[in-house]
Chain A
Amino acid sequence: MDNTVNMAQANPSDSTSPLKRLFRMRETGLIVIILALFLIMSFASPYFLTWANMRAMSMAFAVDGILVIGMTILLISGGIDLSVGSVTALAMVIAGWLFLSGVDPWIASAMSIALCTGIGAFMGFFVTRVGLHHFIVSLAIMVIARGACLLFTGGRPLGLYTLPPEFKFIGQGSIGPVPIVIIIFLVFVIAFDFMLRRTTMFRKVFYTGSNEKAAAYSGIRTKKVIFLTTTLCSTLCGIAGIIYMARFGSAQPTFGLGLELTIIAAAVIGGASLNGGSGSILGAILGVILLSLVSSSLALLDVSVYWQDIIRGSILLSAVTIDHYLNKRRG
Chain B
Amino acid sequence: MQDDVILKISNLSKSFGPVKALCGVDFELRKGEIHAIAGENGAGKSTLMNVIDGILQPDDGQIMLDGKPIKITSPTMAQRLGIGFVHQEIALCPDVSVAENIFMAKTNVSRSWLMDYKKLEHEARDVFRQLSNIDPAVLVKNLSISNQQLVEIAKALTLDCRILILDEPTAALTEAEAQTLFGIMRDLADRGISIIYISHRMVEIFDNCDRVSVFRDGQHIVTQNVAEIQPSDVVNAMVGRVIDNLYPEKQTEDEKSDDILLDVRNLTEATRFRNVSFSLKKGEILGIAGLIGAGRSEIAKGICRLEGDVSGEVWLNGKKLTLRSYQDSIAEGMVYLSEDRKGDGVFLDLPISANISALKPDQVANGLGLIQSASEEAQAEALGRKLNLKYGSLSDPVSSLSGGNQQKVALAKMLSVNPRLIFLDEPTRGVDVGAKAEIHRILRDLARDGVGIVVISSELPELIGVCDRVLVVREGHISGQVTGEDMTEENIMHLASVMDAQATVA
Contact = CB atoms under 8 A, between A and B. Distances in A.
A13 to B, nearest CB: 11
Interface string A206-232: 110011011111111100000000000
A199 B371 contact: yes
25 contacts: A1-B46, A1-B403, A2-B41, A5-B402, A7-B17, A9-B19, A14-B396, A16-B396, A17-B395, A17-B397, A198-B370, A198-B371, A200-B365, A203-B354, A207-B347, A210-B349, A211-B343, A211-B344, A211-B348, A213-B343, A214-B338, A217-B338, A219-B330, A219-B359, A331-B399
Contact of B42 (A2, A16, A207): A2
Nearest to A6: B19
B21 A8 contact: no
Interface in B35-53: 41-47, 50
B259 interface: no
A247 interface: no
Nearest to B88: A1
Contacts of A277: 347, 349-350
Contacts of B413: 218
A204 interface: yes
Given A7-B17, A18-B349, A218-B413, 19 more contacts: A2-B45, A8-B392, A15-B396, A199-B369, A199-B370, A200-B371, A207-B347, A211-B344, A213-B343, A214-B338, A214-B358, A215-B358, A216-B306, A217-B336, A217-B345, A218-B358, A219-B325, A277-B347, A277-B349
B113 interface: no
B158 interface: no
A38 to B, nearest CB: 32
B350 A18 contact: yes
Contacts, number: 136
Contacts of A11: 17
A203 B361 contact: yes
B401 A5 contact: yes
Interface in B200-231: none
A210 B395 contact: no
B349 A20 contact: no
B128 interface: no
| Residue of A206, A211, A213 ringed by the most chain B CB atoms within 10 A | A211
B130 interface: no
B349 A278 contact: yes
Among A2, A9, A214, A220, max chain B CB count under 10 A is at A2
A115 to B, nearest CB: 29
Nearest to A214: B344
Which 3 A-B pairs rank lowest in CB-CB distance, beginning with the nearest? A17-B395, A213-B344, A10-B17
Contact of B41 (A1, A216, A331): A1
Contacts of B397: 17-18
A244 to B, nearest CB: 32
Nearest to B341: A214
A6 B21 contact: yes
Interface in B339-380: 343-351, 354, 358-362, 365, 369-371
A19 interface: yes
Contacts of A5: 41-42, 400-402
Interface of A: 1-11, 14-20, 198-201, 203-204, 206-207, 210-211, 213-221, 277-278, 331
A236 to B, nearest CB: 21
Contacts of A200: 361-362, 365, 369-371
A62 B399 CA distance: 37
Given A214-B345, A216-B344, A3 B21 contact: yes
Nearest to B417: A219
Q: Is the interface of A mostly helix, strand, loop or mixed?
A: helix
A210 B350 contact: yes
A192 B324 CA distance: 32
B46 A3 contact: yes
Contacts of B400: 4-5, 8-9, 14, 331
B327 interface: yes
A17 B361 CA distance: 18
Contact of B358 (A20, A198, A207): A207
A7 B397 CA distance: 13
Contacts of A216: 306, 326, 344
A6 B16 contact: yes
A201 B52 CA distance: 49
A204 to B, nearest CB: 7
Contacts of B45: 2
Nearest to B329: A219
Contacts of A221: 325, 327
B393 interface: yes
Contacts of A211: 343-344, 346-348
A198 to B, nearest CB: 5
A18 to B, nearest CB: 5
A198 B362 CA distance: 12
B77 to A, nearest CB: 20
Which of A16, A17, A214, A216 has most chain B Cβ within 10 Å?
A214
Contacts of A6: 16-17, 19, 21, 42
Contacts of A8: 392, 396, 400
Contacts of B396: 8, 14-17
Contacts of B326: 216-217, 219
A199 B349 CA distance: 19
**Most B-side CB within 10 Å, residue of A14, A18, A217:** A217
A239 to B, nearest CB: 23
Contacts of A2: 21, 41-47
A213 B21 CA distance: 33
Contacts of A17: 351, 354, 393, 395-397
B16 A7 contact: yes
Contacts of A217: 306, 326, 336, 338, 344-345
A20 B392 contact: no
B391 to A, nearest CB: 9
Contacts of B306: 216-217
Contacts of A214: 338, 343-347, 358
Contacts of A18: 349-351, 397
A141 B396 CA distance: 40
Contacts of B19: 6-7, 9-10
